[in-house]
Amino acid sequence: MSAPEPLHPLAGFARAGRHGPADSPAPLRIALPAREIVQVMVRRGRDGDLAEALRRDLALELPVAGRTTASGGVTAIWIQPGGWYLHAPRGGEGVLAARIAASCAGLAAIDDQSHGRTTLGIAGMRAREILARGCRLDLHPRVFGPGHATTTMIGHINCVIHQTDAAPAYELTLFSTLAETFLDWLVETAAEDGVEIA
């Protein structure tokens, strides 16, 4: 087992503070939340059993296509038919994966993605418009709002986008190896609005 990563993969790359126009009234806020990320893929014919196990052991309902659910600090994000990411704040190495594996033994394939994927938090009055500059997905609040999630290309990089509140605020999950490239694109794209990195 590899040693835990104490910091977000972008911690040594992202320069904290304000970037772009200092007088911008609504900068894009970027956060680097440390997440445990576990991919769950249901085994054929075990959909109901998997849902019941997670309901029983985590009080967590699996979301339908395009949606998310949350309970007890764990967020379930639909990523494809029969597949979900389960996110939780980073704790001990492999804690969430072990918990899910124990609950879902024989019902699903469990893959700890905490090292291979990373999450960026994006928020601000113009966050929707900034993301739309590199995304063909319709992010209008009539069709994509809090609790919605999907996989899409943003800035030519594949992301799972999850809207967390109506502010609007989003969490984007992507390959850790592409996180620096994505952050560069995001900061450059939002430069005229200003950027604030936590």
Model-wide pTM > 0.95: no
* Banded pLDDT at 84 (limits 50, 70, 90): very high
Cβ pair 123, 110 in contact under 8 A? no
Spatial contact of 173 and 75, defined as CB atoms under 8 Å apart: no
Region 38-48: mean pLDDT is 97
The mean per-residue pLDDT over the stretch 59-86 comes to 97
Where does the pLDDT of residue 7 fall: very low under 50, low under 70, confident under 90, or very high at 90 and above?
low
Q: Is the pLDDT of residue 169 over 80?
A: yes
28, with CB counted inside 10 A (0-12, 13-18, 19+), is buried
Contact 38, 97 (CB under 8 A): yes
Query: Residue 162, exposed/middle/buried by CB under 10 A (0-12, 13-18, 19+)?
Result: buried
Spatial distance between the Cα atoms of 5 and 114, rounded to a whole number of angstroms:
9
The DSSP symbol for 148 reads B
pLDDT in tens, 92-105: 788 999 999 999 99
